Amino acid sequence: QQQVKQSPQSLIVQKGGISIINCAYENTAFDYFPWYQQFPGKGPALLIAIRPDVSEKKEGRFTISFNKSAKQFSLHIMDSQPGDSATYYCAASRRGYQKVTFGIGTKLQVIP
């Protein structure tokens, strides 16, 4: 049973467009939702994260939107650039615990 469902699995966006990746979770005990970015041949890197006490968090061109009642959260990449081409993972964990569950990943390709 996949506790964190991520879609789409692949995404192609034109340069300058908005990339949107969606995630949904089932365990209501989750209260920390990080996103990771992974370039080919590298380990994942923490990109941005949110807690359920806010509905949105923005860092530069990256924004997380969070809908607690729907148990959904999404990553928006504004003004997408070819350098954003990577695999993105959403994840979820519980406060005070260091166990993390990942989504399946989204391979983003930004074309010029």
Partner 1 sequence: EAQVTQNPRYLITVTGKKLTVTCSQNMNHEYMSWYRQDPGLGLRQIYYSMNVEVTDKGDVPEGYKVSRKEKRNFPLILESPSPNQTSLYFCASSIQGLEAEAFFGQGTRLTVV
Shortest Å distance, C-beta 34 to partner 1: 7
Q: In the structure encoding, which two tokens stand for residue 108, read together?
A: 């983003």
Contact positions with partner 1 (CB under 8 A) in 23-52: 32, 34, 36, 41-46, 49
Percent helix / strand / coil, the chain, rounded to 5: 5, 55, 40
Shortest Å distance, C-beta 96 to partner 1: 9
Shortest Å distance, C-beta 52 to partner 1: 14
The amino acid sitting at 32 is Y
Name the residue among 111, 108, 112 with its Cα closest to residue 40: 108
Contact positions with partner 1 (CB under 8 A) in 52-91: 89, 91
Phi–psi pair at 11, nearest 5 degrees: -150, 130
Residues at the contact surface with partner 1, assessed by CB under 8 A: 6, 32, 34, 36, 41-46, 49, 89, 91, 93, 98-105
